[in-house]
Structure 1
Amino acid sequence: MDVHSKENEMLVLLEKLVNIDSGSYYKKGVDQVGKELIPFFIELGYDIQKVKQHDLGDHVIIQHPERKQSSILIVAHMDTVFEEGTANDRPFSIKDGRAFGPGVIDMKASLVTVIYALRYLKESGSSAYKDVEIILNSDEEIGSLTSREIIEKEAIGKSYALIMEPARRDGSLVTERRGSGRFTIEVHGKAAHSGIEPEKGRSAIEELAHKIVKLHELNDHEHGVSVNVGIIEGGDAVNTVSAMAIGHIDVRVSTPEQAEEMEHKIEEVCASSDVSGTEIELTGDMRRPPMLKNKKIEDLFNIVKKVGEDLGIEIKDTKTGGGSDASFTSAMGIPTIDGLGPIGGNAHSSKEYLVISSLTERTLLLAKVIERLMNDKYEKTN
């Protein structure tokens, strides 16, 4: 099989996937993406297990029946950040060597490359495709709330984890990520007319404002810690002392120690009120541990780099502040590489794009990496 000759075929599948709305909270659409993908894996001889979800899309676990314990775990997500109707408003399109559309690079192009990489291995006579387990999860964009447990369970005993987030704009893979957390502060005050009897009110917005200032004082960018209250809600009318205010907090850290420390500090900030008569409710936690570049990850990256050299591709690595499922497998001590998808940019925006030439290039890279890892494993055990 010549992967490069399959570009048009791959683009046809990609167009179909991009034109399906599959925002994390749109179960019908995410399940439809899974429905489109499953037949390809069945055709390759894999067994399919659906992990049903009530409100979110079903997760899909894919394994070959000849391997009770595969060596490689591949993780790719089917959900996007876009609301229902986005695909209709700006469907899949191609212009100047780039493909556009909601989720085209994060990460529907990666879903296509996984299928064609495994197809390439099978059709070229390599049994390496059998030694792979694939998880297609439905909630990565909202922190893998229900799929984390599945990923960590299936990762036990694996020799490697390959995470299919897109490559960076310059083609770099990801070997290091910051950990992340999400918290919500809900402040309850007492409403009153701000003109007639303001003294009877207890402003939830004023209390939230105090908390926002204190939370932002926790920032330590020099050491890789960032705290951002990115969304606030509150108030019923401009002439009413607010009875309710809500703040949504994003936290990023660089080390496990920082993650634990930030949880304690946020709890301390919210432990007492600055505005008398208001009450505070804090929910949330640190959702993803940081992915730290250790020797295992560096060794795996060097294998990928060598495979790239054999294909005439210069492979570089980088670190990023964004989160992914790579954090879970790397925290378990499993050699993990992220960013193995195609090249693109502007993810989560209306200008999201895929560099079309990278679709087949990164498909072949993925296939050859899988094959190389299996060959190395065979040589070590013989």
Structure 2
Amino acid sequence: MESFIYQQEKEMLTFIEKLVNIDSGSHDKDGVDQVGHILEENYLSLGFHVKVITQENYGNHLVIQHKEAINPNIVILAHMDTVFPKGTALERPFNIEGNRAYGPGVIDMKSSQAAVLYAIKALLNEGHEGYKKIKIILNSDEEIGSPTSRSLIESEAKGMRYALVMEPARKDGSLVTARRGKGNYTLIVEGKAAHSGIEPEKGRSAIEELAHKIIQLYELSDHENGISVNVGLIEGGSSANTISDHAEAQIDVRMKEMEQVEIIEERLEEICSTTEVSGTKIVLEGEMNRPPMEKNKKTRALLRIIQDVGDEIGIEIEDTATGGGSDASFTSSLGVATIDGLGPVGGNAHSDKEYLEIPSLVERTLLLATIIKRLSQDK
């Protein structure tokens, strides 16, 4: 199997180039669906059934399994969307410099799409039926929090034994065994406008109230225990000489453990239940949209299996935790043993310097194929 995968490197890079040169930002339905159509055609040609979950505003999601699948117990998650606006692929298309490939979405995660597809091709070439034990979910909105695919992932992953999530490996090659949960909120303050020079006493400043709330929100952070609150965007007011009648803030909340979610939600409600500036009103909108991915007993057991596989094929496997979110949180919170970061190695995702370490492409494809072989043998 190893020699087969290494022989496919050039073909894999050509496939990645094709995907990278298609704009597929989360809000670009046409572009994401174009990527999805290419992937659908490739899986159909390998004897897989592809169920298309049609979406109105975002790209369609794909649920893929072999026509002869036998009680799949491994779910593989990979997203088709990127963070880049339409036109980016034309401005800086796929290119190779030395041992690195560059382009929008090359590592997050179009190279992972190639790794999954060619891992399956390797299993088919070898005649190993591990491909019958997997279900693949390709979603179109991961980069914006999976608003339409979360329920799909949870329903399809329920009852699975293992979840392999194809976010890229860290720069040092580490897999991801823990992620912080994430919440997005908007705090809206309504006040009363007045001229700041003529009759300021008649005004009720929404900005002043928001300033009090921002300080209280930051006091919720407890970095030692993995809790962080960040007010990343604020806006309000109409002019310097007008008491502001409207202000709002965008809030990012992160937490390490599930038990922290309820505590944080209660504190947010408490902070927003009263005002410091009389006559102002507060509305808090939003939710915790990704639960934490905790490094639990099941995850540790799966990691040991993957490390054994790595030893078998000569790849040293380390793991790490990260504050960023991914769909791994959804499978982990269901009690499914979940490992993330199983894609190729690269870096600078979401930037104009995003890259793939080309030597890691075949290496991590071999790792994935061998993991599927090993896990598919579990009863």
TM-score normalised by the shorter chain: which range applies? over 0.9
- Please point out which of 139, 146, 149 is paired with 1:147: 149
Equivalent of 1:34 in 36, 59, 68: 36
Q: State the Cα distance separating 1:174 from its structure 2 match.
A: 0.7
* Distance in 2 of aligned mates of 1:100 and 1:315: 25
Give the root-mean-square deviation of aligned CA atoms: 1.4
- Out of 354, 366, 369, the residue aligned to residue 364 of structure 1 is 366
For residues 63 and 352 of structure 1, the distance between their equivalents in structure 2, rounded to whole angstroms, comes to 31
Do the aligned partners of residues 84 and 240 (structure 1) sit closer, same or farther apart at CA in structure 2, a change above 3 Å counting?
farther
Is residue 230 of structure 2 the alignment partner of residue 228 of structure 1?
yes
Tell whether 2:177 aligns with 1:137: no
**CA distance in 1: counterparts of 2:132 and 2:276, whole angstroms:** 60
- Paired with 1:37 and 1:223, the residues of 2 have a C-alpha distance of 41
Residues 94 and 101 of structure 2 are in contact (CA less than 8 Å); yes or no, is this contact kept in structure 1?
yes
Q: Does 1:305 align with 2:307?
A: yes
Q: What is residue 287 of structure 2 aligned with on the other side? A: 285
- Distance across 1 between alignment mates of 2:261 and 2:341: 23
Partner of 2:52: 50
Q: Which amino acid aligns with 2:288?
A: M
Specify which of 89, 100, 103 is matched with residue 102 of structure 2.
Answer: 100
> CA offsets, 1:239-295, max 9 Å, x none?
332222121111111111111100111111111222222211111111111111122
Per-residue CA deviations over 1:315-349 (Å, capped at 9, x if unaligned) read 11111111111111111111111100000111112
**Structure 1 residue runs without a partner (length 5+):** none
Match runs of 1:1-382 below 5 Å = 2-67=4-69, 69-375=71-377, 377=378, 380=379
C-alpha separation in 2, matches of 1:28 and 1:355: 29
- What are structure 2's unaligned runs of at least 5 residues? none
Greater shift in the superposed pair: 358-367 or 88-97:
88-97
> Separation in 2 of the partners of 1:23 and 1:241?
39
Letter in 1 for 2:180: R
Moved more, 216-225 or 67-76: 67-76
Question: What do the CA deviations read for 1:67-115 (whole angstroms, capped 9, x no partner)?
Answer: 2631110000111122222222222222121111211111111111111
Secondary structure of the residue that 1:33 maps to in structure 2? Answer: helix
* Alignment deviations for residues 163-192 of structure 1 (CA, whole Å, 9 cap, x no partner): 001100110101111111111111122223
User: Could you give the per-residue CA deviations for residues 13-47 of structure 1, whole angstroms, max 9, x where no partner exists?
Assistant: 11121122212122121111111211110011111
Partner of 2:8, secondary structure, is helix
Name the SS for the 1:361 alignment partner. helix
- d(CA) in 1 for partners of 2:236, 2:188: 10
Shift of 1:200: 2.8
Q: Given residue 259 of structure 1, which amino acid in structure 2 is its aligned partner?
A: V
Which AA in structure 2 matches 1:19? N
The alignment partner of 1:291 has SS state of coil
Q: How many Å separate the matches in 2 of 1:240 and 1:349? A: 39
Matched AA of 1:142: I
How far, CA to CA, are the matches of 1:273 and 1:341 in structure 2? 47
TM-score w.r.t. length of structure 2: 0.96
Paired with 1:129 and 1:24, the residues of 2 have a C-alpha distance of 29
Question: Would you say the 8 A contact 2:180–2:322 is kept in 1?
Answer: yes
| CA gap 1:10/1:276 in 2 versus in 1, 3 angstroms | same
Query: For the residues of structure 2 that align with 1:185 and 1:29, how far apart are their CA atoms?
Result: 33
How far apart, in 2, do the equivalents of 1:122 and 1:113 lie? 14
1:106 aligned counterpart, secondary structure: helix
Distance, in Å, in 2 between the alignment partners of 1:193 and 1:101 is 51
The separation in 2 between residues aligned to 1:246 and 1:85, in whole angstroms, is: 31
Partner letter of residue 114 of structure 1? V
* Cα drift, residue 229 of structure 1: 0.6
